Amino acid sequence: MGNNIKGFFFDFDNTIADDYTFIIDCFIYTFRKMGIDFKTSDIDSFMGLKQRDILSKFIDNDNEIQNAMKIFDSYFESNYLKGVSIFKGIEDLIRTISVDFKLVIVSGGQGDRIRKILKKYNLYNNFEYIISSQDVVYPKPNPEGLNLALKYSGLQSNEIIYIGDSSSDYELCENAKVKFILATWGSDITFNSILDKVDVRFDKPELLTDYIYKYFFKNSPV
């Protein structure tokens, strides 16, 4: 099983990088600067929506929403590197499987931010390519980014598995005819809508590591 798999492609946010608490902090900072009454639990309940859509739950004026977005983005940019961490177990997973497989990131995030986090945790050199929002015209679930990653890596769609945490990641793989593993250790609740469609999912990176070792490593006894 899995003898033809030569690479693992990853989403970044909520799959490799744990940014949930940091994003909440960005909204809290923004609302306080704007003098807006809020409850942290209310922000939490809207997570998974786009930034502007969350802000519009608390602000009904377009100009004020624009101001809030500027405050949010400024705070986000200034504190990103110290606010975002790597999920427990991900470092070992990446270092272990990069020995035998090509690793690539295909993310809707910004490439420069992704590189900063990977370098901070000494994981940058474990990835052959990083395809981000800055490299494509059409975002996920359009397969443009994934197809670009396949082209650069020299791999075929049947030779890789994509690991992501959201419904858009699943739809991306459906569109590109790529095998998909669902990571549920993050905070993106959109995966709930695809649980009955996904064959393989894990709630801990360590379990994914065991699965890959068992079925895909060249020296696997299976």
Q: What is the CATH number of domain 20-83?
A: 1.10.150
222 band by pLDDT with thresholds 50, 70 and 90: very low
Count, residues in the chain: 222
What CATH number does the domain located at 7-18+85-215 have? 3.40.50.1000
Q: Which of 2, 17, 6, 7 is nearest to 132 (CA)?
A: 17
Question: Model confidence at 218, in pLDDT bands (50, 70, 90)?
Answer: low
Domain boundaries, the chain: 7-18+85-215, 20-83
Provide the 8-state DSSP code for 13.
Answer: B
53: number of CA atoms within 13 Å, CB side? 6
Cβ-based burial of 207 (10 A; exposed 0-12, middle 13-18, buried ≥19): middle
Model pTM?
A: 0.89
Residues 6+ apart with CB under 8 A from 187: 14, 20, 47
- Quote the Cα angle for 134-140-145, to 5°: 50
Structure confidence at residue 2 (pLDDT): 53
Q: What is the pLDDT of residue 87?
A: 95
Distance in angstroms (rounded) separating the CA atoms of residues 39 and 58: 10
Distance CA 33, CA 39 (A): 15
Mean per-residue pLDDT for 10-29? Answer: 94
